[in-house]
Amino acid sequence: MGEEIKKGLMGVTVDETSISKVMPEINSLTYRGYAAQDLCAKCKFEEVAYLILNGDLPNSKELKKFEKEERKERKLSKSLISIIKQMPKKSHPMDVARTAVSVMGLEDKETTDNSPKANLRKSMRIFSKTPVALAAFYRLRKGKKIISPKKKLSFAENFFHMCFGKVPNKDIVKAFDVSLILYAEHSFNVSTFTARTITSSLSDIHGAITGAIASLKGPLHGGANEEVMHMMNKIKKPENALNWINNALNKKAVVMGFGHRVYKSGDSRVPTMREYFGKVAKITKDKKFEKIYDIVEKVMIDKKNIHPNVDYPTGPTYHLMGFDTDFFTPIFVISRITGWSAHIIEQHSTNKLIRPLAAYNGSQHRQVQSLKDR
């Protein structure tokens, strides 16, 4: 009998974490023990970012200090702005995010300091500056002038301001804030595990987050929300949805935004995001995608018993807010920086180099022949 191979590390427990868990007893994703949907109902994103990074929810004084620090760190260097201006307009924004974080690593005076306090300070700088870098590129590729961040605006409000030059109504901002909370952290997913693997060699936080962004770009991970929107744009209108999804299933095509390796009876984040998707559809007076959503979801559950994951409602929500489709995953990035940073700090605290084994299935031992005999 050969050794058992667990492809994709399926079912393998590789380490411990105190940051998040899908708790089956309450059927919910939890951050530091708090159900994500409860955090959406009672907190704004900055409170959840503080929780993930520091271990507990902030009191008023702690939150004020955290927000002040985040807003203080938003400004980009002239050098980074210059680099963003030189990027090809057709660049994928995920590549822009990856490059921007890498440049921040070149500029940061604490790059080589992996102490918990230094990593917390660096994580705040990455967290604060990455949305600004992405919004700058968002404007530049449309031939528009960069809009500077405003210290008086919240994290979510500021991103809208920098992208569109205005802040939408409070319900749209709340829906965006909720999406950031739901995307903030999710245990040992592929990008987080990538960040921890990089960290395990005692590399720096900028390098680990750069690697995590590259991992998140893939359509089987963060890029799924973009693929959902591409799918909905192919369907075009509700009248086409039933025929489209049945054809897709008959052809055994992968339907993006459905299924999850952790959740067996549905992603616990979906009901909350679906609710806010509906609210945004109502505000924008555009119910088309909501109707497509419901038809495709029903067929997938009825025929395949596969439930949607959080990317399914998030994609069309971002679309209705006015964001370009290729900016959906970068929005995921600006949220998930919090989770990645917490895992990087946790990895450093009890570090062991991550170095799995592989079962060799290549040629047996061979003798090397000289070049003339080959």
Q: Which residues contact 316 (CB under 8 A, 6 or more apart)?
A: 228, 229, 232, 277, 281, 289, 290, 293
Assign 374 a pLDDT band (cuts: 50, 70, 90).
very high
Of residues 221 and 354, more confidence is placed in 354
pLDDT (0 to 100) of residue 219: 84
pLDDT (0 to 100) of residue 11: 86
Domain ranges of the chain: 35-219+327-349, 224-321
SS3 state at 21: strand
Give the mean pLDDT of 240-247.
96
pTM for the model stands at 0.95
Assign 1 a pLDDT band (cuts: 50, 70, 90).
very low
Separation between Cα atoms, residue 174 and residue 280, nearest integer Å: 10
Interval 290-310: pLDDT, tens: 999 999 999 999 999 999 999
Give the mean pLDDT of 88-115.
97
Q: Which residues are catalytic?
A: 221, 260, 311
Residue 7 pLDDT exceeds 70: yes
Residue 263 pLDDT exceeds 90: no
| 35-219+327-349 carries CATH number 3.40.640.10 | no
Residue 245 pLDDT exceeds 60: yes
Give the mean pLDDT of 319-332.
97
224-321 adopts what CATH topology? Cytochrome p450-Terp; domain 2 (1.10.230)
Interval 167-183: pLDDT, tens: 999 999 999 999 999 99
**Which phi and psi (to 5°) does residue 351 adopt?**
-75, 140
Alpha helix stretches (DSSP H) within the chain: 36-42, 45-54, 60-72, 78-86, 93-107, 116-140, 155-164, 170-183, 190-200, 205-216, 224-235, 238-250, 270-283, 288-299, 311-321, 328-349
Residue 8 pLDDT exceeds 50: yes
